[in-house]
Structure formats: structure tokens, C-alpha cells
Amino acid sequence: MPAQVITLTSGKGGVGKTTATANLAVALAAEKSKVVCIDGDIGLRNLDVILGLENRIVYDLVDVIEGRCRLKQAMIRDKKLPDLYLIPAAQTRDKNAISASDMMRVVKDLRSDFDFVLIDSPAGIERGFRNAIAAADRVLVVTNPEVSAVRDADRVIGILESEEKGPAALILNRLNPALVKSKDMLSPEDVLDLLAVELIGIVPEDENVIIASNRGAPVAYDAKSRAGQAFRNIAKRLKGETVPFLDLEAQGSLWERIQRLTGRK
């Protein structure tokens, strides 16, 4: 079976695309899928740090595209998971160093060797975003439960549909159940009312995400973390498994409504 190519994008910056890419890569590879992730954020690479692989970079994506190395030479094998690889972004170049057709060529060469190719998109709707979605079979839009992030996600979902890359699926990241309860944060239901899109996962706000990212060991490794569990669940859904949504504390009826809304109940 050729790889499923999945791009994570958002419109707004800082909502958790890179965090989600790293965690889904770890969760999929830990369950025996062969995974390669590509850092599509040329000039602002981060995925290497979150995966704890920054000291192993010799070549990057732009080196591959410009012919300074072979694709295999730019693929860094993970320290813990032998089925996980990273192709890092260039640090000293910008998004204009690559084109959509470059990206499609690289991904074409990876398809037959992997189960999943995950592409971390830069923020925005410009060239870097377009490069990142060019080769995608499926796009996951990451948003936070904030009006500005949701508005940008809506714009991106519209572009994806017009580019025939839809329908996108949504990861709602950094949900704080206490703030939802006190009506100080948009609820998942509010977000789904605003964005007519399939929900693939809700990840709670969790300080372990930041601690884990700083250590270079994504939170998906942490059996006790709620965010880690949420990412592991999304990974299972990407593989086609049906996994119930986490009941994020004392929200029984709300979560039942979400499950009904998303057709899971």
C-alpha cells in the first residue's frame, strides 16, 4: 500500500501544527507504521527540535531539491523509533527555495517506502502553505478555540475546497474544559458550528506538551498525559480505527452532543 500523505496546516501561526505533526508521527510509528515527516516550514524549522533530532541534521529538504544530496541522505532516523524518519527544513533559506512541483517529486519518491508521509506546513496561505499542501492526499487543519484562529481556519478550509484538497479534518488543540465551562472559551460545539468540517480530534491544553517538546520527546510517549492520549487517538483514527472522543472532565452531556454532531454516536 502506498503512503497516505497528510499535511497539517492552520492559517494562523502558533496553534500547534508542529506539535501535532511530531506527536502523530511518534504515535503512528510506535504502532508499527512506517512514517516520514517533512518539515515544510523552510527558514523556521522546528520539527527537528520537538523530535529531539536537531543535532543529527546534515542535509535538509532544500539540499535534496537542489541536488546536493540524495533523498536518503537527508532522512534522519529517530533515536527511539526505528520506523520514524524526519526530513528537516533548511534553516538559512526561505519558502521561495522550493516549489509545489519540487514537493510533489520528493513525496512521490517516498510514497512506496512508507505508510504515512506527514508534512508540517508553515502558517499563512502563501507559497509555503501551497507547497505544503501540493502533494497531500488529506489535510488536517489545526485550530485553537479562539475566534481569530477559527476565522483563519475557516479561510484555509475554503481554499482547500477550491483547490480540491478538501474536505479537511479538524484538530481542535489547547482546549481548556474549565474555561469552556465558565463560558470563557469557545466550546468544541461552537467551533464545529462555525466550521462545517469533520472533527478528527480534540487535544486539551496540557503543560506536559511544552515540557515534552522542550525535552525533544513528544508528549505522545507519555502514557499519563491527556494530550498524549488525544494524539494517540487521532493517530488511530488516521489508520481508520473508530475511537471515542476523550471525555474531558465533567462534560458528559456536552461530549455526547459532540459525538452526535460528528456522527460518532
Ligand X SMILES: Nc1ncnc2c1ncn2[C@@H]1O[C@H](COP(=O)(O)OP(=O)(O)OP(=O)(O)O)[C@@H](O)[C@H]1O
Cβ 210 to ligand X, closest distance in Å?
A: 4
End-to-end, the C-alpha distance of the chain in Å comes to 30
Cβ 8 to ligand X, closest distance in Å?
A: 8
Closest CA to 45 of 149, 129, 120, 140: 120
- Reduced to 3 DSSP states, what percent helix, strand and coil does the chain have, rounded to the nearest 5? 45, 15, 40
Which residue among 18, 33, 144, 233 contacts Mg ion (CB under 5 A)?
A: 18
Q: Tell me, rounded to whole angstroms, the distance of Cα 115 from its chain centroid.
A: 16
Nearer to Mg ion, 18 or 173 (CB): 18
Residues composing the chain: 265
Closest CA to 79 of 41, 107, 53: 53
Q: With CB cut-offs between 5 and 8 Å by kind, which of ligand X, Mg ion, none does residue 211 bind?
A: none
Omega before 167 within 30 of 0, i.e. cis: yes
Nearer to ligand X, 74 or 175 (CB): 175
Binding site for ligand X (CB under 6 A): 10, 13-19, 41, 46, 123, 173-174, 203, 205-206, 209-210, 213, 227
Nearer to ligand X, 71 or 145 (CB): 145
From the number of C-beta atoms within 10 Å of its C-beta (0-12, 13-18, 19+), residue 175 rates as buried
Name residues contacting Mg ion, limited to 31-60 (CB under 5 A).
Answer: 46
Cβ 233 to Mg ion, closest distance in Å?
A: 22
Nearer to ligand X, 203 or 248 (CB): 203
Nearer to ligand X, 173 or 187 (CB): 173
Q: Tell me, rounded to whole angstroms, the distance of Cα 72 from its chain centroid.
A: 23
Q: With CB cut-offs between 5 and 8 Å by kind, which of ligand X, Mg ion, none does residue 19 bind?
A: ligand X
Q: With CB cut-offs between 5 and 8 Å by kind, which of Mg ion, ligand X, none does residue 210 bind?
A: ligand X
Q: With CB cut-offs between 5 and 8 Å by kind, which of Mg ion, ligand X, none does residue 174 bind?
A: ligand X
From the number of C-beta atoms within 10 Å of its C-beta (0-12, 13-18, 19+), residue 151 rates as middle
Site of interaction with Mg ion (CB under 5 A): 17-18, 46
